[in-house]
Structure 1
Amino acid sequence: MKILKILAVLGLMAVVAGCSKFQTYTGPEVTRVAVFKSSRSIVLYSGEQVLEAFRMELGFAPDGPKEFEGDGKTPEGRYFIDRRNPNSSYHLSLGISYPNQDDRARASSMGKSPGGDIFIHGQKNLFFKGGDDWTAGCIAVTNREIEKIYAMVRDGTPIDIYP
């Protein structure tokens, strides 16, 4: 009876260990992330080689570049992965260096704030299905996909976001 309890505890520990949201990546370095808004795809490159591609969702107003805080648009242009949040409300998230100087100037010319806190992230919880373009301007993938992206992409990696 005692052996069965020990085996049950060990089995549970193995299951829990296998459920970690943190993966290890030992492949080629991701040198660039490309986001193609029109095709709803995010592609990870090492040089010119495609390493992975994922389907994604955007801000709730996907057409055109982000202009100001609250417009629901996803930025367009060259940015960098500048931070990571292992405790994100959206499973895991990678920060994008929006706004840049041009973004600030554009918003300022309209008398508005450019906003910020643009991320590549997962889902809010296991039961959230999202839908089409449901974020407030971020780039959303499934939780399994953000686990892979989070492991592969390092801070400082350029991210090009195309219309």
Structure 2
Amino acid sequence: MTSITRRHFALLLPATVAACGGAPQPRGPVFKSYNGPPVTQVVVYKGRRQMYLLSGNRVLKSYGFGLGGQPLGHKQFEGDNKTPEGMYFVDRFNPRSRYHLSVGISYPNAHDRAFAAQYGLSAGGDIMFHGLGPEGRKLVQQRTDWTAGCIAVTDAEMEDIYAMLSMGVPVMIHA
């Protein structure tokens, strides 16, 4: 009887440890997978409302998008509703975004923070590529540029973008 108990214990121990967080657990909903060439750069043209995911010089995907409520000019201060311009990097993924899914960019950089600080203001932050989610679907019916400075695509497009991007990918945002 003792050997059966030990045997059962030996078989149940790995399953118990995995259930307590020892094994990786899936994040949120089931995500799309991407097995194509790596995205090496994201190029955004605010004026044209076009974003390109590139592998080297080859365009893998392009998307139209909505911007911040004040689409002209570079983001300088928190609350100005502008989308930044310049070189940034993918720096985080949020599978539980209120706008479906989101991928963060590294705004503000040191230059952005220093510029805002000389006016005694914050440069802001939390600039993302994101989907619409329920809130965005309502707002996009009223106007194209509705975010607080983010770059918004449809939920289905965001699922593709989320799958294709990885940490550290350069993001160049042009006027």
Separation (CA, whole Å) in 1 of partners of 2:119 and 2:56:
38
- Asked if 1:142 corresponds to 2:154, the answer is yes
Q: 2:172 aligns with which of 147, 152, 160?
A: 160
1:128 aligns to what? 138
Q: What code does the residue aligned with 1:133 have? A: D
Q: Greater share of helix residues, 1 or 2?
A: 2
Q: What code does the residue aligned with 1:160 have? A: M
Q: How many residues align?
A: 144
Structure 2 unaligned spans of 5+: 1-28
Contact 2:139 2:146 in 1 (8 A): no
Separation (CA, whole Å) in 2 of partners of 1:146 and 1:128:
17
Percent identical residues:
53
Contact 1:41 1:54 in 2 (8 A): yes
Q: What code does the residue aligned with 1:44 have? A: L
Larger of the two Rg values belongs to structure: 2
- Asked if 1:95 corresponds to 2:109, the answer is no
Shift, 1:129, TM fit: 5.7
| 1:54-107: CA deviation from partner (whole Å, max 9, x where unpaired) | 000100001000000000000000000000000000000000100001100111
Separation (CA, whole Å) in 2 of partners of 1:55 and 1:101:
29
1:55 aligns to what? 64
Q: CA RMSD in A?
A: 1.3
Structure 1 unaligned spans of 5+: 1-19
Secondary structure at 2:53 match in 1: strand
Q: Does 143-152 or 104-113 show the bigger shift?
A: 104-113
Secondary structure at 2:138 match in 1: coil
Contact 2:90 2:166 in 1 (8 A): yes
4+ runs of 1 displaced by more than 4 Å? none
| 1:102-136: CA deviation from partner (whole Å, max 9, x where unpaired) | 10011112211001000000003285361311000
Separation (CA, whole Å) in 1 of partners of 2:42 and 2:144:
22
Contact 1:21 1:147 in 2 (8 A): no
* Distance change >3 Å, CA 54–CA 21, structure 1 → 2: farther
Separation (CA, whole Å) in 2 of partners of 1:109 and 1:129:
34
Q: What code does the residue aligned with 2:155 have? A: N
TM-score calculated relative to the size of structure 1: 0.85
| 1:6-50: CA deviation from partner (whole Å, max 9, x where unpaired) | xxxxxxxxxxxxxx6610100000000011000001100000000
Contact 2:42 2:169 in 1 (8 A): yes
Separation (CA, whole Å) in 2 of partners of 1:34 and 1:153:
13
1:8 aligns to what? none
Q: What code does the residue aligned with 2:84 have? A: P
